[in-house]
Structure 1
């Protein structure tokens, strides 16, 4: 049974109309405007769906060719399975990759603001740890006296794995996979307690200090201001 159709009117500016006509002209059957708009809406809704993946015709050909190469070279135990993806394409099972390959087909994207925050935090703690290592015993004793016991050993605690998982993941990727901030390489970086509010306050204080740290590190007084 054919789906019920409803008449729908809309106003489109000349530029968008020209783009629709251009797209229509690139299709093999050159659909009329109304049909072109309907198809474009369907494509847009499908592309925005979180329940299924979509491959362009070119991507489909590459996947199928990759499957042929795997067979020819008799490759096994690869991280991808072109044979599975070929079945997805032939059968139209575009929901399946998000079920079977969740590490690849997911909708998570790191927030650029979160990335900047993590970079600022790592940069700040690099300076703090380097400064603490250079302090005299008297400076370290003074730091504890003014800040408290937690300043007895200044070391980057990391981010909370339970409540700050995105930040923890970004930090680990920067350090372990991108080779940045190598002072923290090999550390667990799970603080096991929330840190965001404290770190944001510390970064606000550190930012103007950072501009003056040319040829020298943080002073004991600056460390007190950051840790209090």
Structure 2
């Protein structure tokens, strides 16, 4: 990561203040490395994730809207067929391969967005292609929010 001289001074001042307030030498050392321009050293300590794109954000929001519709529809069904509460729970994203999606989902919940959607935290398997297929099937069904048992089963079997 590259910083302008101005950005390095600002960050160095912030880390120096943090180091003095918390009495942590590591912050003071980082401030010194920023001031001295030791990019290799501060690049190892200041880790910033890439920007999560609008397309990625829209995808996560869409899949959560779908699971919201599935869960509301499931709750309203008198005959739930072979569906179970665990089956209609949002599986989440794979922490090893879809971590940025997992972090965005967690941020949404933390910010009270889709916090009511019942979900697992980590799917432990890659799910993006599965979700793409589910969204495509939901789209072909008219993207309704009140789904029949057959609609839900079709979305899951896509």
User: With structure 1 as the length reference, what TM-score do the two structures score?
Assistant: 0.56
Q: In structure 2, what is the equivalent of residue 140 of structure 1? A: 80
Q: In structure 2, what is the equivalent of residue 75 of structure 1? A: 21
Assess, with a 3 A threshold, how the Cα gap between structure 1 residues 219 and 188 changes in structure 2: closer, same or farther.
closer
**Counterpart Cα distance in 2 of 1:114 and 1:98:** 26
**Counterpart Cα distance in 2 of 1:159 and 1:119:** 13
Residue 63 of structure 1 and its aligned partner are, at CA, apart by 4.1
**Unpaired segments ≥5 residues, structure 1:** 1-49, 145-150
CA RMSD of aligned residues (A): 2.9
Residue 67 of structure 1 and its aligned partner are, at CA, apart by 6.1
**Counterpart Cα distance in 1 of 2:16 and 2:153:** 64
Assess, with a 3 A threshold, how the Cα gap between structure 1 residues 108 and 227 changes in structure 2: closer, same or farther.
same
Aligned mate of 1:124, from 66, 74, 85: 66
* Cα contact 2:93–2:122 (8 A) shared by 1: yes
Q: In structure 1, what is the equivalent of residue 133 of structure 2? A: 201
**Counterpart Cα distance in 1 of 2:34 and 2:125:** 45
**Unpaired segments ≥5 residues, structure 2:** none
Q: Which has the larger radius of gyration?
A: 1
Aligned mate of 2:95, from 146, 161, 181: 161
Residue 198 of structure 1 and its aligned partner are, at CA, apart by 2.0
Aligned pair count?
153
Residue 135 of structure 1 and its aligned partner are, at CA, apart by 1.0
Q: Deviations over 1:143-178 (max 9, x none)?
A: x2xxxxxx33322111222332222222112212x2
Aligned mate of 1:219, from 130, 148, 152: 148
* Cα contact 1:159–1:168 (8 A) shared by 2: yes
Q: Deviations over 1:75-113 (max 9, x none)?
A: 1168x93x33431244221222111233xxx35332432
Residue 120 of structure 1 and its aligned partner are, at CA, apart by 0.9
